[in-house]
Structure 1
Amino acid sequence: MDECLYDEFGNYIGPEIESDHESDGEEEDEDMQEKPGMEAEASDEKDAAAASNGWITATSDVDMDNQIVLAEDKKYYPTAEEVYGEDVETLVMDEDEQPLEQPIIKPVRNIKFEVGVKDSSTYVSTQFLLGLMSNPSLVRNVALVGHLHHGKTVFMDMLVEQTHHISTFDTNSEKLMRYTDTRIDEQERRISIKAVPLSLVLEDSNAKSYLCNIMDTPGHVSFSNEMTAALRLADGAVLIVDAGEGVMVNIERAIRHAIQEGLPIVVVINKVDRLITELKLPPKDAYHKLRHTIEVINTHISAASSTAGRVKTIDPATGNVCFASACAGWSFTLQSFAKLYVKLHGIPFDADKFATRLWGELYYHPDTRTFERKPPVSGGERSFVQFVLEPLYKIYSQVIREHKKSVEATLAELGVTLSNEASRSNVRPLLRLACSSVFGSATGFTDMLVKHIPSAKDAAAKKVDHIYTGVRNSTIFNAMKACDSAGPLMVNVTKLYPKSDCSVFDAFGRVYSGEILKGQTVRVLGEGYSPEDEEEMTIKEVTKLWVYQARYRIPISKAPPGSWVLIEGVDASIMKTATLCCGL
């Protein structure tokens, strides 16, 4: 080996030597020059094979098996030119005409959040209801408050059944409709979640009609804000108490809240039949149970009144306590029960005086026909036990024991005759039919509201003085106190109710002065509004007005002062509460 041709590491450093590859390349070039047609055909076949592979296309003679192809260089789909040809013009749009948020095939969605009613007809016409609404002296605004499962919603069912052409009790399943539970989840859970108003035309014992705006509120502690909104609109509180459970936690809270609002309180002791059917108490013990419940309520009223103002205690003799069993469809006060005796016996005596002797430590002496505080020598029960509880126990015991002849005889004494088909009914339907036939409609409850709850006109002065924060002795203040329909418009909104599809809300409030009209432009004053800062003020147009009836709505053109009204078109700027006034 010539050492001058290599360095000390053995690398060749001599002149360049002609390689075999170059000679081979020259021969191939000569072959290509000789056969250009054949090489072109081979290249076309190679390109076509690569194109049919669907991955990549290559025009040079590269070893495709060992070639590394990046993901972005791969060809998964043919181009538009390859699909449609060179003669067809193709356009690629940056964005589809249909937005990405909208699916190509829209799924079928049946949105249903509320329960409706097929028949909403009442025993009185809508014109008669609106006529009562225009007279604030005949309007009573109350809120039903109490503890969970004490029967507020079922009591509303009883009132609905007596005013509408519907039955709230299913005789087959023996379940109640729960008319004011309008939401699907409320019906599934059997618990009220939202406060729902209902405007009913009720008659008193003198057959005089009144418009009673009643708000059914939830009894669960978690929904106490609904009770707050209801009491802010009401002129009185109706306390529903379970006769078996007595006074519970939320009842104490409701008493304190009502007294803070300065509202009078009346009581409905519900589920009195539990003392008969479940606890199986004798009539004497049932009286002591009812008396203890009333004493506990008065204790809480006195304790709350010491800090928030004096409120009259409750006493069945004065007529502000109503005994009821909403499941069985009956209710009465001592006054209405006394009038029932007058009707049955046909004796012209003073029912009101007789009612005052049906409670307390009073005993009837048949020999002298007087009521005294000592029992007769021959023995006897208190007047409430003798004249009220014993007839009630007698009806229940005979119906439950299914003594058909005894039931017919007892009801005949009370002036009630049942058909053969009704006599063969099950226990619960027969109890509802018998008790509702004996005690009649809820005239005693209406008498209690009329006597102990002020009308919308009479309560306006005290109500406005408590909640109004504006200038005193102004034109607006005096118009609201007088419940003046010719004064400036003032509406207090405390609740928002969603549409059936939950798209928007309708505002619910009470008119204090003026008249709110359909199509009227109003100013919406938010919670943080002040005359110095009008940022919380917007101007809206009232598009629709209704009287909210839980499961249906009555459209109206205007709402007078003292009424509750549902308003459409003003909800956009309302968070929870607001004030509506003239838009000028």
Structure 2
Amino acid sequence: MSREVVDNAELRSGTEKKHPQQLLGSAPALLNSPWAAKGPLRKHQLQEHLQMLKKIKFFNAFGIFSRFSPSPGVQEAALGHKEWTQCPADCTAFCTHPAAEKFPRGVGIKSTPVTIVLPDTKGKSFLFNIIDTPGHVNFSDEVTAGLRISDGVVLFIDAAEGVMLNTERLIKHAVQERLAVTVCINKIDRLILELKLPPTDAYYKLRHIVDEVNGLISMYSTDENLVLSPLLGNVCFSSSQYSICFTLGSFAKIYADTYGDINYQEFAKRLWGDIYFNPKTVGLVVLQVVGDVDTTLPRTLDELGIHLTKEELKLNIRPLLRLVCKKFFGEFTGFVDMCVQHIPSPKVGAKTKIEHTYTGGVDSDLGEAMSECDPDGPLMCHTTKMYSTDDGVQFHAFGRVLSGTIHAGQPVKVLGENYTLEDEEDSQICTVGRLWISVARYHIEVNRVPAGNWVLIEGVDQPIVKTATVTEPRGNEEAQIFRPLKFNTTSVIKIAVEPVNPSELPKMLDGLRKVNKSYPSLTTKVEESGEHVILGTGELYLDCVMHDLRKMYSEIDIKVADPVVTFCETVVETSSLKCFAETPNKKNKITMIAEPLEKGLAEDIENEVVQITWNRKKLGEFFQTKYDWDLLAARSIWAFGPDATGPNILVDDTLPSEVDKSLLGSVKDSIVQGFQWGTREGPLCDELIRNVKFKILDAVIAQEPLHRGGGQIIPTARRVVYSAFLMATPRLMEPYYFVEVQAPADCVSAVYTVLARRRGHVTQDAPIPGSPLYTIKAFIPAIDSFGFETDLRTHTQGQAFSLSVFHHWQIVPGDPLDKSIVIRPLEPQPAPHLAREFMIKTRRRKGLSEDVSISKFFDDPMLLELAKQDVVLNYPM
């Protein structure tokens, strides 16, 4: 949010952004209403706004919410904004949300950036950049993209439901991103109108929510000063539906303005805690509106200094109550005060942001320019999200200018996620087209955008897949990229797609490329069988992806296979014998064994608690201290696999007395490549290997460089990885979801029944304080979660609501290589047969042979060795 202090400044919407065609059919009345048709900006208004963009300080906030009700973050801002006061109460979400899919689904699925001017309690105006993100856990990737370019978080929590599954995840994510956290407790009307709580109980309910949030913050943050309290001004209360938003300070100022001789700042300190005052007058407003309106309401309103016309008094109950509350509470100045006081401006927060997200040095000239948020420095812009045009043909890159000023028509260099100073292949020179500032459903075109602002960029979308770094094409050779987004969930649900008409395959491929750009955590790939696969976070997520693919990006009929899940491959024992493989030229030989990793180590690698880029001493100290590794092994780690954050480790366990270390070091890169190739596609069903440590025990390497090239070593290293893996009692792992269910007390037993039928188990159930609902927490296998929500609502008559998110990997019961198990079609398999069933069906789907063939992974000398040691194998030759 830009922090230009301009009295009575006002931002007016520009030309209306067109909607996709499907919205026209779903909400024609909304589009045709008077407030939906805005005229173009007047020249002096646009100039005034542009002057605000480039002056003084900037201030970024980020509205997020834990329940997927319509856009409270932007609504809170919009309802207090003069330009949208004509918007009907029930249509505010439509005013402030551009995604057409929101309305038939009743849930936001795309983040919405808004630039808006709002006044604080003192009448000073501030330019806010707000991004409103979806509240459903399936779309947490949109939250990640928004957090990356923000300086702070406004977390919306439902007053009746309290802290839910996604609330905790968002708090953890914000703390990890080192962002300032504030809270807005929304829907406080539900405490009165639905739960019918007396004032004292409502206070305890609200205090319980604040205490829960503080407990979560203290769990994930080491900053003891990060405390939320209404007394500190970083908690506000609101009701979007009834136009209520206040902090203790703004509420106290209402009394100060009424009675005059009151120090409202001191009075605000007495509005929270075990200090009570008689709220009789305000209580009468609610009671009178609901009760006898005609006779006593005018008298009550006179006492409050609220005057309504005869036409306004004839309104229905809800609009009348909203109007009264709006006149009593006024503009949402408390919300602005909270953001201004507790979320740093981009200039203040730039150094922390750069240290956390930039891969280059902060001490360089470029790093200092970004740390100072210098609009005259070299251009550096970080794009985190792609928004498609209305026709779905092009994309506009949305990001934040960290330093310099970006101009329309300017040539820029776009650096992809794989760009490095040594390898510049993933970069391209582009020319910036037009630039816009987003105001939800409207885009304001501008000629330039200085550092600290958010911007929509035309013309740079072609080389960008997910995120990118935009910089100057010349004179900025030291520029490095910003870190790719690290999501707080994993895409484990998979569907295969193909066009109904095979001749339309090119259209579908083009559509797949576009949805891959549109959804931050979506993954698309092609299996060896030729089928095109989409991986997403859940059923709703993939349903939205398929809607966009069919209706927006390809406009063809597409067939979808039944959803499945990704598996992982692991081992539960150490290899039963030393496994070796020879290169095709018979001049090199590598020997390895495999064994399980220590518990928790794979998660530490994935969460970057430990990094392979550390020096050997630091890496060794970590493994010695936390996992009791010996000094030799701890300092002999070669790589993680299949990438730098992969959950497998390659260790050089050879001795200098037995192996020529210089020759081994000369082929290290080739062995690492073979190891990472092998762990990327395991031998059981071409799925990722997980939680396995591979040890190199011996290596015979040819003296001549010609005989130890990558073509010889890489496939050999992969084969020995596979053979060591197969000798270590391999098993399959499946993803498990963490499920949170809210249901009335009489429905709890039905929830247990539905979970038990899907191999799920409950870990906790407890009542929600101040509510008639219970919360049930459970784990359920992802492969058994399809249709779970529908099944749950059927068994509870629609009274239960559930959220599920990936939590961990767990070994599937049974031996996947047990050939004595016969898989019968169309029959549910008992638990010990599941691993075999999953492996065979996955291999069939990928076009592989039905069983693992050892001749593919074992050399002839290795097979002879197995025969000598009388090792019994379940694998076909």
- Normalization by structure 1: what TM-score? 0.73
- Once the two structures are superposed, residues 217-251 of structure 1 have per-residue CA deviations (whole angstroms, 9 ceiling, x without a partner) of 00011100000001111100001011000000101
Quick check: 1:112 aligned with 2:32?
no
Tell me which amino acid in the other structure corresponds to 2:75. Answer: D
> Using a 3 Å threshold, how does the CA distance of structure 1 residues 122 and 531 change in structure 2: closer, same or farther?
same
2:444 is aligned with 1:554: yes
Residue 443 of structure 1: aligned partner? 333
CA distance in 2, matches of 1:248, 1:120: 42
Distance 1:113 1:403 in 2: 41
Question: Which of 268, 277, 284 is residue 355 of structure 1 equivalent to?
Answer: 268
Correspondence for 1:323: 237
Task: Find the aligned partners of 2:394 and 2:388 in 1 and give their Cα distance.
Answer: 6
Question: Cα offset for 1:163?
Answer: 2.1
1:581 equivalent in alignment to 2:490: no
Query: Deviations along 1:306-359, whole A, 9 cap, x unmatched?
Result: 4xx556111101111111111101101000011110101121x32111111111
> Using the alignment, how far apart are the partners of 1:414 and 1:324 within structure 2?
20
1:17-28 matches, within 5 Å, as none
In structure 2, the CA distance between the partners of 1:210 and 1:167, relative to structure 1 (3 Å rule), is closer
Q: Is the CA contact 2:62–2:131 (under 8 Å) kept in the aligned structure 1?
A: yes
Query: Which amino acid in the other structure matches residue 564 of structure 1?
Result: W
| 1:489 aligned residue (379, 399, 403) | 379
- Secondary structure, in 3 states, of the residue corresponding to 1:245? coil
Instruction: Give the C-alpha shift of residue 158 in structure 1.
Output: 4.2
Distance 1:134 1:261, change over 3 A: same
SS at match of 2:359: coil
Cα distance between partner residues in 1 of 2:167 and 2:210 = 12
Q: Does 1:144 align with 2:63?
A: yes
* 246, 251, 259: which one aligns with 1:337: 251
- Tell me whether 1:223 sits opposite 2:155 in the alignment: no
Letter in 2 for 1:192: G
Q: How has the CA–CA distance of structure 1 residues 474 and 128 changed in structure 2, closer, same or farther, with 3 Å as cutoff?
A: same
- State how 1:102-251 maps to structure 2 within 5 Å: 112=21, 117-119=36-38, 125-137=45-57, 139-150=58-69, 153-167=71-85, 170=88, 174=90, 176-251=92-167
After superposition, the C-alpha distances for 1:549-570 in whole angstroms (9 at most, x for unaligned) are 1111100000010000000000
2:74–2:96: 8 Å Cα contact kept in structure 1? yes
Query: Which whole-Å deviations, capped at 9, do the CAs of 1:201-226 have from their partners, x for residues lacking one?
Result: 00001111100111010001110000
Distance across 2 between alignment mates of 1:131 and 1:113? 37
Aligned-residue offset at 1:143:
1.2
Matching residue of 2:776:
none
Q: Per-residue displacement from partner, 1:25-80 (whole Å, max 9, x unpaired)?
A: xxxxxxxxxxxxxxxxxxxxxxxxxxxxxxxxxxxxxxxxxxxxxxxxxxxxxxxx
Matches within 5 A, 1:235-314: 235-306=151-222, 309-310=223-224, 312-314=226-228
Shift of residue 122 of structure 1?
A: 8.9
Task: Check whether the contact 1:122–1:164 (CA below 8 A) recurs between aligned residues.
Answer: no
Q: Deviations over 1:260-311 (max 9, x none)?
A: 01111111111111111000111111111111111111111111114xx556
Amino acid aligned to 2:21: K
SS state at 1:292 partner: helix
Q: How far did 1:393 drift?
A: 3.0
Q: Check the 8 A contact 1:142/1:215 in 2, yes or no.
A: yes
In 1, Cα distance between equivalents of 2:175 and 2:298 = 47
Q: 1:145 to 1:423 in 2, by over 3 A?
A: same
Report the count of equivalent residues: 445
* Distance verdict in 2 for CA 1:155–1:291, change over 3 Å: same
Match of 2:453 among 563, 572, 576: 563
Return the alpha-carbon distance in structure 2 between the equivalents of residues 432 and 155 of structure 1: 18
Percent identity for Structure 1 against Structure 2: 42
Distance 2:207 2:111 in 1: 30
Q: Corresponding residue for 2:872?
A: none
Please tell me the residue identity of whatever aligns with 2:138.
S
- What secondary structure is seen at the aligned counterpart in 1 of 2:21? coil
Task: Give the C-alpha shift of residue 148 in structure 1.
Answer: 2.2
Cα deviation code 1:340-399 (max 9, x no counterpart): 10101121x32111111111122xxxxxxxxxxxxxxxxxxx24xx35xx5443221111
The separation in 1 between residues aligned to 2:427 and 2:377, in whole angstroms, is: 21
- SS of alignment partner, residue 421 of structure 1: helix
User: SS of the residue aligned with 1:142?
Assistant: coil
After superposition, the Cα gap between the structure-2 partners of 1:237 and 1:111, relative to the gap in structure 1 and judged at 3 Å, is closer
| Structure with larger Rg | 1
How far off is 1:184 after superposition?
2.0
**1:181, distance to aligned residue in structure 2 (A):** 2.8
Which secondary structure does the structure 2 equivalent of 1:418 belong to? Answer: coil
Structure 1 residues 310 and 541 mapped into 2: Cα distance closer, same or farther (>3 Å)?
Answer: farther
- TM-fit CA distance, 1:121: 7.3
- Whole-Å Cα distance in 1 between the matches of residues 129 and 215 of structure 2? 29
1:545, 1:175 → 2: CA distance?
29
Gap change, CA 1:245 and 1:310, over 3 Å in 2: same
Measured after TM superposition, the shift of residue 472 of structure 1 is 2.8
- Structure 1 residues 245 and 225: CA distance shift in structure 2, 3 A: same
Closer/same/farther in 2, CA of residues 150 and 355 from structure 1, 3 Å limit: farther
Give the counterpart letter for 1:143 in structure 2.
F
Q: How far is the alpha carbon of 1:512 from its aligned partner?
A: 0.7
Amino acid at match of 2:274: E
1:508-523 → structure 2 map (5 Å cutoff)? 508-523=398-413
Q: Are the structure 2 counterparts of residues 175 and 210 from structure 1 closer, same or farther at C-alpha, using a change threshold of 3 Å?
A: closer
Separation in 1 of the partners of 2:264 and 2:40? 35
Q: Which amino acid in the other structure matches residue 238 of structure 1?
A: V
Q: Distance in 2 between matches of 1:355 and 1:263?
A: 27
Bigger relative contact order (CA 8 A; separation at least 6): 1
Closer, same or farther in 2 for the Cα pair 1:565/1:338, shift >3 Å? same
| Structure showing the higher strand proportion among its residues | 2
Paired amino acid for 1:148: R
- Asked whether the 8 Å contact 1:243–1:272 carries over to 2, the reply is yes
Inter-partner Cα distance in structure 2 for 1:317 and 1:121: 43
Task: Give the aligned residue type for 2:161.
Answer: E
CA offsets per residue over residues 472-492 of structure 1, 9 Å max, x none?
A: 311110000111111100000
Q: 1:451: how far off?
A: 0.6
Structure 2 distance, partners of 1:202, 1:170, is 20
Q: 1:420-439 maps to which residues of 2 (within 5 A)?
A: 420-439=310-329
Indicate conservation of the 8 Å contact 1:119/1:166, yes or no. Answer: no
Q: How far apart are residue 112 of structure 1 and its match? A: 2.2
Could you tell me which runs of 5 or more consecutive residues in structure 2 were left unpaired when the two chains were aligned.
Answer: 1-18, 25-30, 475-877
Kept in 1: contact 2:411–2:429 (CA 8 A)? yes
* One of 247, 257, 260 as aligned partner of 1:346: 260
CA distance, structure 1, for counterparts of residue 179 and residue 351 of structure 2 = 13
The one-character-per-residue Cα deviations of 1:454-484 (angstroms, maximum 9, x if unpaired) are: 1121111111111111023111100001111
Note the C-alpha offset of 1:504.
0.7
**1:368-379, aligned counterparts within 5 Å?**
none
